[in-house]
Structures are given as C-alpha cells and as structure tokens.
Amino acid sequence: MPLWRLKPIDLSDPNWEGSSHKGVIIVRAGNEEQARQVADKAFAVKTRFPPGHGVLAPPWLRPALVSAEQISDPRFASAGPDEVLEPSFEGQSQAPSRRV
C-alpha cells in the first residue's frame, strides 16, 4: 500500500483550529483521498467560533492547505491497514487508536 507525506501549506488559515496536529505526517493509505481522510480522523477537533463568522472546514481534506505526495520510506512498512505512521502514537497511554 502506498505511503503519503501530508504537509501543511498555510498554518495561518483559521481552519487549522480544527486540527490537533499541525506538522508533517506520514500516512499509509490506498490513495491520496484516503490518506487525507485518515489524517482528518486522527487529528480533527471540534471548534467553537462566534455565530456568523463562517464555518471551519477540515484542513487535512483541503489541497489548498495541505500538500500530499506519495513517498517511499524504508522506515515504514507498506503492508498494513490505513493509518497514521508518523507521528507515532505508540507509548502514549491515553492516545486513542488512530486506525480507520
């Protein structure tokens, strides 16, 4: 299965309030759309904003805010389920499962 590097482009965009992580991530997924969905599921957070000030859109799903490129990296196995591989959630006792 392909590996994807998702990299934030514009962290000044207010939509980043909807993500708990704002750095580069590595995802194993079948295609770019699935990689973006895995990232969104792993890092999306609910936000509050004043009524009438628009609606926040998930940044990981937006190509204008996050670039995605297929990569090859021997540190990560290409076999396995769709999931965030980096940052690693291993060793974080209270971290929820990030698998899709």
Write down the pLDDT at residue 85: 97
pLDDT tens string 18-29: 899 999 999 999
Give me the pLDDT at residue 57, please.
Answer: 78
Residue (of 32, 33, 42) closest to 89 by Cα position:
42
For the whole model, what pTM was predicted? 0.81
How far is 30 from 50, CA to CA, in rounded Å? 38
